[in-house]
Amino acid sequence: MSASGHKGLETDEKHIMIAATTGENSKRAAMYVANMLGGLPGFRVTIYSLISVPPDDFFESGDERDEWIGKEKEQVDEALAQMLEVCLQAGFPEDKVAVVSEAKRCASASDCLIEEAMKIKACTLVVGRRGLSKREEFQFGSTSTKLIHDAHDCAVWIVE
Partner 1 sequence: MDQAHLREKIAAHLGSAKVPRRLRVLSDTSDFFRVEYDDVLLLEGRSLFIRHNEREGRFGIDEQPKFWVRRAVDLEDGSLKVIKMVFHERFTAKCGAMTYECVRSSSKEAHILELVEGHNRFMQGVSMHDSAGNCVRVIDYIRGASYPQYVSDLCEDHEEYYFKHLPGLLEEFVELVEAIRFLHAHDQTHGDIRRDHIIREKDTHICKWIDFDYGCFHPENQYVYDMAGLANILVFLTGGDDVTVQQLERDRPGVFGALDAWDMNIIFKNRVANLKKVYPYISDDLNYMLLHISVGARLFYEDTGQFIEDLGLALEGMRASQ
Which residue in the set 14, 65, 73, 146 belongs to the binding site for partner 1 (CB under 8 A)? 146
Beta carbon of residue 65, minimum distance to partner 1 (angstroms, whole number)? 12
Residue with Cβ nearer partner 1 (39 or 141): 141
Cα angle 5-17-35, degrees, rounded to a multiple of 5: 110
Alpha carbon distance 121, 9 (integer Å): 12
Residue with Cβ nearer partner 1 (67 or 94): 67
How many binding residues for partner 1 (CB under 8 A)? Answer: 27
- Cβ burial 80-103 (10 Å sphere, 16+ → b, else e): beebbebbbebebeeebbbbbbbb
- Asked if 24 contacts 128 with a C-beta cutoff of 8 angstroms, the reply is yes
Beta carbon of residue 71, minimum distance to partner 1 (angstroms, whole number)? 12
133 makes contact with partner 1 (CB under 8 A): yes
106 makes contact with partner 1 (CB under 8 A): yes
Cβ burial, residue 19 (10 Å; 0-12/13-18/19+) = buried
51-80: contacts with partner 1 (CB under 8 A):
52, 54-58, 60
Can you give the binding site for partner 1, defined by CB under 8 A? 52, 54-58, 60, 105-110, 131-143, 146
